[in-house]
């Protein structure tokens, strides 16, 4: 009895401690590593002064930032002891301590931030900004806290594609401000791609004169309408570019926010715009034919190196990104110059030819004290000796690179591509496809379990990628970035043990409000609809887990679990990439389910989807038939699609027979519309 009472009291005590813990959390993003809140508040008056032991020249910049912030702190010029707010540089506590770490203490008497670097002080100040609540008049109220914080990863990035749709300097600065708020420190600027060249190169002014504008209102019209470029003064011209002065201004603006700008100059693929201007650098020698540079032509190297020389003048970043993704290598196979180069260099295939280019670029960059960064295709044909790999086609590239002793930035499509739908596509503006919720981004751990501790040390960080094909306006781009970027920020900064989805979601709701109040256009998280209802529960039906015979094969990329996928009871979600949709490429779907014995049937149905961007089509026709013996089939239903291939939106359609039949075998045929490279996707044949 006594023992029971003690355990009961202990349990109540534990519960209370648990509650207190919860109440005392700081609600900021990213969540600090250690934080302790006590009762009480500190009120910051208008024009409060601060003091600091920073060197004079660094101080100036920081002073201006603090003065311009909503807290409008002023530098104490008189008695330093008087100031209630202190920013102090201290020696690092250990050799291993990140220079970006900081400690923050808010007491009833004032605020103290200390850090081993200005970057640390800056992050401490960002934490303060998020903790501040507007009080009466122009005062701000802070909870009393002790925070000890440092980042999980040194690389915490945001990538922006400004080729598909040009974005102004002001827009870029606005995103840099948000990055600083969430303690992100790398801005990967995708400046060149087939849809437009965006950086002034003084040696080659033709690039921006002839390939920075398009005579179409947006990327989609350009893509579908002939993919031409034009000069700025052409009627209807859309686009733009950054002068070198603009780019330097961005670099400086970012630097003041402790963000490094990493420029990307695409090669050897995604280069249609360069080759329209300089067709002699392509294998065909003609404009609007190739998207890849001719690697057999030495002029290609001269051009790329001249461009990189100017790029390095503008961008002090150690990393220079050279793209490397998605090159279509077919022209190299037939090109006499490329073939000659392969022979001379002893290269056995075109992947090695690409690798040859990347190796030479790395040598060039290294000779100029820079490091090469590239998408994971740079692994193919042999990785350049010191290259860092950005793993985007899943994590495999990153895993191989880390195992080979190379630094890695994780940006896998399934977690980090903010161009996918963030909510039910039926409620969203058009996107490229997929379905990537805030929760899924948040769940990401950039260190794959298969890596040893030593290998894991090569994972330098994580990055959100924002490809802009379907983001024609700046508002739309922000809508896709926020709040998902906040989840990437917490993945990048906060140790996994400290992450907590419920708390993060509460913070994200608060931050969405902050973003709205500060002129951003985030997705309204409070209105999230969520996953496709069909995917929420298992469907029981007569065909469940019965044998299925495939007359046509499903594609190895989309098996959805194999031969039982269409009768496993699992319905698919919003995206065909969720491993519940089975895919058929360039073929009809023709399957027969064996119910084991003659059975009374009243309904046979399967659902398909259409998404024209990735060539996912509804079937042109569906034929549903049944049989008692598996030899003679009676057609029950013959249906035709009512959705044209010009439909841009994601569409779902169920093709169903309803009636009365007695059969052991059910045959479901979905006929492809015959478009080369076309897919059919279905998730379940539901038999009732």
* Residues 613, 649: Cα–Cα separation, whole Å: 9
Nearer Cβ to ligand ACM (183/321): 321
Least gap, CB of 457 to ligand ACM (angstroms): 24
Site for ligand ACM in 92-111 (CB under 6 A): none
Nearer Cβ to ligand ACM (374/381): 374
Cα 115 from chain centroid?
A: 31
User: In the structure encoding, which two tokens stand for residue 27, read together?
Assistant: 């609600």
Nearer Cβ to ligand ACM (123/392): 392
Q: What is the DSSP string of 132-145?
A: -EE-STT-EEEEEE
Q: What 3-state class would DSSP assign to 605?
A: strand
Contact flag: residue 665 with ligand ACM (CB under 6 A): no
- Judged by CB under 6 A, the residue of 42, 102, 375, 617 near ligand ACM is 375
The residue written with tokens 């019965």 in the block is 546
Least gap, CB of 392 to ligand ACM (angstroms): 4
Known active-site residue 541: no
In contact, 493 and 150? CB cutoff 8 Å? no
By rule CB under 6 A, what string of x and - marks binding of each residue 274-313 to ligand ACM? ----------------------------------------
Degrees, nearest 5: CA angle 309-311-315 = 125
Nearer Cβ to ligand ACM (392/665): 392
Backbone angles phi, psi at 239, to 5 degrees: 145, -150
User: In the structure encoding, which two tokens stand for residue 25, read together?
Assistant: 């959390």
The residue written with tokens 């998404």 in the block is 611
Closest CA to 503 of 16, 19, 18, 22: 22
# residues near ligand ACM by CB under 6 A: 4
Site for ligand ACM in 46-75 (CB under 6 A): none
Least gap, CB of 321 to ligand ACM (angstroms): 10
Known active-site residue 159: no
Contact flag: residue 325 with ligand ACM (CB under 6 A): yes
Nearer Cβ to ligand ACM (392/584): 392
In contact, 619 and 673? CB cutoff 8 Å? yes
Contact flag: residue 326 with ligand ACM (CB under 6 A): yes
Environment class of residue 12 by beta-carbon count within 10 Å: exposed (0-12), middle (13-18) or buried (19+)? exposed
* Residues 452, 462: Cα–Cα separation, whole Å: 18
In contact, 270 and 323? CB cutoff 8 Å? yes
- The single residue of 25, 249, 326, 563 carrying the catalytic annotation is 326
Nearer Cβ to ligand ACM (460/465): 465
- The single residue of 76, 84, 149, 193 carrying the catalytic annotation is 193
In contact, 543 and 666? CB cutoff 8 Å? yes
Contact flag: residue 396 with ligand ACM (CB under 6 A): no
Least gap, CB of 628 to ligand ACM (angstroms): 51
- CA separation, residue 669 to residues 556, 590, 598, 681 (Å): 19, 4, 20, 12
Nearer Cβ to ligand ACM (432/639): 432
Nearer Cβ to ligand ACM (35/465): 465
The residue number whose beta carbon is nearest to ligand ACM equals 325
Least gap, CB of 325 to ligand ACM (angstroms): 4
- Residue ranges of the alpha helices (H) in 24-73? 56-68
Nearer Cβ to ligand ACM (375/576): 375
Q: What 3-state class would DSSP assign to 669?
A: strand
* Residues 10, 559: Cα–Cα separation, whole Å: 52
Least gap, CB of 574 to ligand ACM (angstroms): 20
* Residues 369, 563: Cα–Cα separation, whole Å: 54
Least gap, CB of 246 to ligand ACM (angstroms): 25
- The single residue of 258, 270, 321, 406 carrying the catalytic annotation is 270
Give the H or E element holding residue 634: strand 634-640
In contact, 650 and 581? CB cutoff 8 Å? no
The sign of the torsion formed by the CA atoms of 193, 197, 198, 204 equals: positive
Contact flag: residue 590 with ligand ACM (CB under 6 A): no
Q: Are strands 459-466 and 408-410 parallel, antiparallel or unpaired?
A: parallel
Known active-site residue 590: no
Least gap, CB of 375 to ligand ACM (angstroms): 4
- Kindly report whether the peptide bond that precedes residue 483 is cis, defined as omega within 30 degrees of 0: yes
Degrees, nearest 5: CA angle 184-187-189 = 160
Nearer Cβ to ligand ACM (325/590): 325
By rule CB under 6 A, what string of x and - marks binding of each residue 331-370 to ligand ACM? ----------------------------------------
By rule CB under 6 A, what string of x and - marks binding of each residue 376-395 to ligand ACM? ----------------x---
In contact, 144 and 39? CB cutoff 8 Å? yes
Least gap, CB of 612 to ligand ACM (angstroms): 19
Backbone angles phi, psi at 608, to 5 degrees: -125, 165
Least gap, CB of 395 to ligand ACM (angstroms): 14
Q: What 3-state class would DSSP assign to 232?
A: coil
* Residues 660, 96: Cα–Cα separation, whole Å: 73
User: In the structure encoding, which two tokens stand for residue 611, read together?
Assistant: 């998404």
- The single-letter DSSP state of residue 281 is G
* Residues 542, 627: Cα–Cα separation, whole Å: 15
Nearer Cβ to ligand ACM (106/466): 466
Nearer Cβ to ligand ACM (58/325): 325
Catalytically annotated residues: 193, 270, 326
Binding site for ligand ACM (CB under 6 A): 325-326, 375, 392
């Amino acid at each position: 009895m006594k023992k029971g009472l003690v355990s009961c009291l202990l349990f109540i005590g534990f519960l209370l401690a648990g509650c207190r813990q919860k109440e005392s959390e700081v609600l900021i993003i990213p969540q600090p590593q250690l934080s302790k809140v006590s009762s009480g508040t500190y009120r910051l008056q208008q024009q409060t002064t601060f003091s600091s032991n920073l060197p004079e020249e660094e101080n100036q910049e920081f002073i201006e930032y603090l003065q311009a912030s909503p807290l409008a702190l002023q530098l104490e010029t008189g008695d330093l002891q008087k100031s209630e707010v202190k920013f102090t540089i201290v020696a690092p506590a250990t050799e291993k301590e990140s220079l970006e770490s900081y400690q923050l203490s808010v007491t009833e008497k004032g605020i103290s931030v200390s850090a081993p670097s200005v970057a640390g002080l800056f992050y401490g100040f960002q934490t303060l900004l998020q903790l501040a609540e507007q009080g009466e008049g122009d005062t701000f109220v802070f909870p009393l806290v002790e925070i000890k914080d440092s980042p999980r990863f040194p690389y915490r990035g945001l990538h922006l594609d400004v080729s598909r749709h040009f974005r102004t300097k002001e827009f870029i600065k606005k995103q840099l401000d948000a990055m600083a708020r969430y303690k992100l420190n790398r801005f990967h600027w995708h400046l060149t791609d087939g849809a437009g060249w965006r950086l002034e190169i003084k040696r080659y002014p033709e690039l921006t004169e002839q390939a920075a504008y398009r005579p179409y209102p947006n990327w989609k019209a350009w893509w579908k309408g002939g993919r031409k470029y034009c000069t700025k003064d052409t009627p209807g011209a859309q686009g733009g570019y950054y002068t070198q002065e603009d780019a330097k201004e961005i670099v400086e603006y970012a630097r003041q926010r402790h963000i490094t700008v990493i420029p990307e100059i695409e090669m050897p693929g995604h280069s249609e715009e360069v080759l329209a201007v300089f067709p002699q650098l392509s294998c065909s020698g003609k404009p609007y034919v190739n998207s890849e540079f001719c690697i057999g032509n030495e002029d290609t190297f001269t051009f790329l190196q001249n461009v990189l020389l100017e790029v390095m003048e503008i961008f002090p970043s150690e990393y220079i990104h050279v793209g490397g993704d998605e090159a279509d290598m077919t022209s190299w196979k037939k090109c006499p110059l490329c073939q000659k180069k392969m022979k001379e260099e002893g290269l056995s295939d075109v992947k090695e030819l690409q690798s040859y280019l990347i190796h030479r670029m790395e040598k060039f960059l290294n000779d100029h004290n820079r490091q090469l960064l590239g998408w994971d295709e740079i692994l193919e044909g042999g990785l350049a000796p010191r290259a860092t790999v950005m793993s985007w086609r899943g994590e495999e590239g990153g895993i191989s690179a880390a195992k080979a002793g190379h630094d890695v930035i994780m940006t896998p499509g399934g977690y980090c591509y903010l161009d996918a739908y963030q909510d039910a596509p039926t409620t969203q503006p058009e996107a490229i496809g997929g379905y990537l919720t805030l929760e899924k981004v948040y769940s990401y751990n950039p260190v794959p379990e298969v890596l040893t501790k030593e290998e894991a040390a090569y994972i330098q960080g994580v990055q959100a990628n924002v490809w802009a094909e379907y983001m024609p306006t700046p508002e739309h781009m922000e809508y896709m970035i926020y709040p998902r970027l906040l989840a990437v920020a917490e993945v990048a900064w906060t140790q996994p043990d400290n992450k907590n989805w419920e708390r993060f979601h509460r913070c994200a709701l608060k931050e969405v409000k902050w973003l709205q109040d500060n002129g951003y256009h985030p997705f309204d998280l409070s209105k999230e609809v969520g996953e496709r209802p069909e995917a929420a529960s298992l469907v029981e039906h007569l065909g469940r887990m019965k044998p299925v015979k495939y007359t046509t094969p499903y594609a190895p990329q989309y098996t959805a679990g194999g031969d039982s996928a269409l009768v496993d009871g699992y319905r698919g979600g919003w995206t065909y990439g969720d491993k519940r949709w089975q895919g058929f490429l360039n073929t009809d779907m023709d399957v027969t389910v064996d119910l084991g014995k003659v059975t009374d049937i009243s309904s046979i149905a399967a659902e398909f989807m259409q998404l024209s961007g990735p060539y996912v089509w509804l079937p042109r026709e569906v034929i549903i038939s049944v049989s008692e013996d598996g030899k003679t089939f009676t057609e029950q239903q013959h249906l035709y699609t009512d959705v044209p291939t010009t439909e841009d939106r994601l569409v779902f359609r169920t093709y169903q027979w309803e009636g009365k039949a007695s059969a052991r075998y059910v045959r479901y045929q979905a006929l492809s519309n015959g478009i080369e490279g076309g897919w059919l996707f279905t998730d379940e044949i539901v038999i009732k």
